[in-house]
Amino acid sequence: MQKISLALFIALLIIYTGACSQKSVVQKITQFRGEGKEWSATYIYDPELYNDKKVNWIELTYKGSDMPELEDIDIQLKTRDIIATGNVGDMETKRISKKMIAFLVGTMNNQTYQNDTYRLKITCNGKQEEVLYLRTKE
């Protein structure tokens, strides 16, 4: 009977430890990256910026020759808590280079975890579409 109780306790401890390790809350600046054929993107989660202003940045890089006009780029960002959509031309943006911009996004999740995945759908000119999955590299 004691062996069964000990085995059950160990099994529960392993399950609990595994569940906790999968839900590691992000405590420092963390990048969630994804790459596709035409685009690459990085969601930069900065806990300090988030706590202060409830926003964070997404950097978007175009791999083609000329980046489309911002007004021609629509995005949909899906998280476990929300789906946010918008036109990049209407967002607060900054140009980093000829092929790279950054834009602000609001609250994405109630809590950000190391193993979160963000689904970013990019539509250009209403027709070209690409889906990126942004994740941390562990």
pLDDT tens digit sequence for 16-56: 554 544 579 999 999 999 999 999 999 999 999 999 999 99
Q: What CA–CA distance (Å, rounded) separates 71 from 124? A: 9
Residue 38 forms part of a structural domain: yes
Residue with structure tokens 């690409």? Answer: 130
Residue 14 forms part of a structural domain: no
Residue 7 forms part of a structural domain: no
pLDDT at 128: 79
Cα–chain center distance at 124: 20
Residue 9 forms part of a structural domain: no
Residue 124 forms part of a structural domain: yes
Task: Give, for 60, the enclosing helix (H) or strand (E).
Answer: strand 56-62
* In 29-95, alpha helices (H): 47-53
Q: In what order do the strands lie in the sheet with 30-35?
A: 30-35, 39-45, 56-62, 100-105, 93-97
- Number of independent structural domains in the chain: 1
pTM: 0.80
CATH of the domain at 66: 2.60.40
Domain that holds residue 100: 26-134
Task: Give, for 9, the enclosing helix (H) or strand (E).
Answer: helix 2-22
Residue 2 forms part of a structural domain: no
Q: What CA–CA distance (Å, rounded) separates 54 from 126? A: 29
Residue 121 near residue 130 (C-beta atoms within 8 A): yes
